[in-house]
């Protein structure tokens, strides 16, 4: 039986991109109900309409994960109406994509707020119910940027390093309570969606297909993995960084694999700070 069978699933940033695909895939694997949180109301309504038309049970929440009070209020509504969330997918993420000295203070707060604090706020709101039942799964979509430095991604990388450190530490804490409290940290390289439009794919690190990585993420949930790093070269990043002196690693990553040039032509969605 699928791990998703009859569970309540919540996906942040779930109205588009891999967030939408993960929600759809979870429903196809037998989830009883999907809750989509996003800040884009039009996309939320369109996503819910498309999934409902296919016969799935779906509800939405217009939620800014940077606002811990809003997160808490909306979480209480979810818990009252649907009960414990069995699988929480922390997917909401943003990238500014420019040199650090060009970042405004608002850019910094925006990126750290969504990519780091937002994960913690959402998890904090739903964890008590999971702990009470001693079961549940939290999926944190971090990034390969949490494993390696990269120019023009300073704040984004910082947010993902923070997310990964928190996610792994949370996994260890919850394992002390119950083996059925699970945490999966996902560290993909660039995914071929609008969020990273214009990036140069590093050597031997192809752009990830959204549907393929979605399937791998949900397969990793089913298999109770603790890390998912894709594509293959990302799996080797911790080894290279641990083995090589920093300046040698910079040559390997920057000159040989061209990782440090990957953001030089970045366009993205041109998402405005709110």
DSSP state of 65: T
Tell me which residue of 228, 195, 196 sits closest to 212, measured CA to CA.
228
Helices (H), the chain: 17-28, 41-53, 68-82, 105-112, 118-133, 154-177, 210-222, 232-243, 246-250
Q: Beta strands 58-62 and 33-38: pairing type?
A: parallel
- Nearest C-alpha neighbor of 191 from the set 177, 173, 210: 210
Q: Let me know: does 190 contact 234? Beta carbons within 8 Å.
A: no
> 82 an active-site residue?
no
Active-site residue among 3, 105, 121, 156? 156
Rounded Cα distance, 3 and 223, in Å: 9
Residues designated as active site: 156
């Amino acid at each position: 039986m699928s791990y998703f069978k009859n569970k309540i699933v919540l996906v942040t940033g779930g109205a588009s991109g891999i967030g939408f695909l993960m929600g759809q895939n979870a429903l196809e694997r037998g989830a009883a109900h999907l809750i989509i949180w996003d800040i884009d109301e039009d996309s939320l309504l369109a996503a819910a309409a498309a999934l409902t038309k296919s016969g799935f049970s779906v509800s939405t929440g217009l939620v800014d994960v940077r606002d811990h009070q809003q997160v808490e209020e909306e979480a209480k509504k979810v818990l009252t109406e649907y009960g414990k969330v069995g699988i929480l997918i922390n997917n909401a993420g943003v990238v500014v994509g420019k040199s650090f000295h060009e970042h405004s203070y608002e850019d910094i707060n925006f990126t750290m707020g969504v990519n780091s604090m937002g994960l913690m706020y959402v998890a904090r709101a739903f964890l008590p119910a999971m702990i009470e039942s001693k079961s549940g799964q939290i999926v944190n979509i971090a990034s390969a940027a949490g494993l390696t430095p990269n120019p023009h991604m300073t704040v984004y990388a910082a947010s993902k390093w923070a997310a990964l450190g928190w996610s792994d530490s949370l996994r260890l804490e919850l394992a002390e309570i119950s083996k059925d409290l699970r945490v999966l940290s996902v560290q993909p390289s660039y995914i071929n969606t609008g969020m990273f439009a214009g990036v140069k794919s590093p050597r031997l690190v192809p752009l990830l297909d959204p549907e393929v990585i979605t399937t791998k993420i949900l397969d990793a949930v089913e298999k109770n993995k603790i890390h998912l790093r894709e594509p293959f070269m990302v799996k080797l990043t911790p080894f290279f960084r641990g083995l090589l002196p920093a300046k040698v690693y910079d040559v390997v990553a920057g000159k040989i694999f061209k990782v440090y040039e990957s953001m030089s032509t970045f366009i993205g969605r041109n998402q405005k700070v709110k």
